[in-house]
Amino acid sequence: MQRLVAELEQARVGHVKLNEPLAEHTTWKIGGPADLFIVPESREQLSETLRLLHKHGVPWTPLGRGSNTLVSDKGVRGAVIKLGSGFDTIAFDNNTVCAGAAYSFIKLSVMAGKQGLTGLEFAGGIPGSVGGAVYMNAGANGSDVSRIFKSADIVWEDGSSGTYGKEDMKFGYRHSILHERRGIVTGATFVLEHGDRKEIAAVMATFKERRLRTQPLQEASAGSVFRNPPNDYSARLIEAAGLKGARVGGAEVSLLHANFIVNLGGATAEDVLTLMHRIQSTVEERFGIRLVPEVLLMGER
């Protein structure tokens, strides 16, 4: 590992840290240390980072803004890569917007609305980065990334890169080609439509009011924990199973929204996993439906 660190520093790939606590980088405020934590600031630095990790046979895991992710209490072996401020960019051109992968997906929706562009209103309540949204084909309020997607720039695990259109991405429900092939999104372009600023603002205000009323936005969480099963909602099933308020250690099924698990203080990844398993087994026993996690499990088990 020391030789790899030396080569990374010599190649000037960005910030390189050893044993970085990942609880500081996740919205759940949970997670042990990463053996190696790398923050590249450009596509060239990212490409060189992946090339060197491949050369040394060191596994790597990408981390965005830390939502939708549960990091193990034992941490992550190998390297964790988090894109730096060089990827926190945005540029509008008529009805298209190009955003760096580290840019906030919520902020992107707000900025688009201010430009009088419609199509991103659904993103106003989706935490995380543009890169994470593309990876997950994130969606809410009846829409998702694939509806407005034009292209994405991706660096693959061997250091090669390219630009890929909608057909290349194999979008599905919370799915993209990045679930099948290892790579990291560095930026994406979306095509929107011109609309009325006041109408866009009104729609976003309605969505925001609903979120404030129904989601535990003031508590540490990762967003929705389980995917919605076909023709139903995980939150409805969990609540119907009597699990609202169920608690393990510092982790609790939210009293506001049953598909959120909140960290009341001092929750561990093991607390959350135990609660997730209880939810899955109870819902399956009651309704014959096995809930599938939407959160990504990261690190040593």
Give the model confidence (pLDDT) of 26-83 as tens digits: 999 999 999 999 999 999 999 999 999 999 999 999 999 999 999 999 999 999 999 9
Using an 8 Å Cβ cutoff, are 16 and 8 in contact? yes
Q: Residue 150 falls within a domain, yes or no?
A: yes
Range of the domain at 23: 2-82
Q: Is 104 part of any domain?
A: yes
Averaged pLDDT score across all residues of the chain: 95
Which two structure tokens, joined as six digits, stand for 183?
Answer: 């790579």
What CATH number is given to the structural domain containing 39?
3.30.43.10
Residue 6 lies in a domain: yes
Whether pLDDT at 212 is above 90: no
Computed on alpha carbons and rounded to an integer, the radius of gyration of the chain in Å comes to 19
Please state the pTM of the whole predicted model.
0.91
- Do 44 and 125 belong to one domain? no
- Token pair for residue 238? 């969990």
Q: Report yes or no on 225 lying in a domain.
A: yes
For residue 182, being part of any structural domain is answered with yes
Alpha carbon distances (Å) from 216 to 12, 88, 92: 41, 27, 32
pLDDT per residue as tens digits for the range 98-153? 999 999 999 999 999 999 999 999 998 888 899 999 999 999 888 999 999 999 99
Let me know whether 187 and 113 are in one domain.
yes
The residues near 51 (Cβ < 8 Å, ≥ 6 apart) are 158, 159
Asked if 225 and 260 touch (Cβ cutoff 8 Å), the reply is yes
The answer to whether residues 76 and 93 belong to one domain is no
Tokens 């939708």: give the residue.
68
How far is the C-alpha of 159 from the C-alpha of 149, rounded, in Å?
24
Residue 207: pLDDT band (50, 70, 90) is confident
Residue partners of 199: CB distance under 8 A and separation at least 6: 118
How many domains, the chain?
Answer: 3
Catalytic positions, written as ranges: 174, 224, 294
- The CA-atom distances, in angstroms, between 135 and each of 153, 202, 263 are 12, 29, 25
Instruction: Please write the tens of the pLDDT for every residue from 226-258.
Output: 999 999 999 999 999 999 999 999 999 999 999
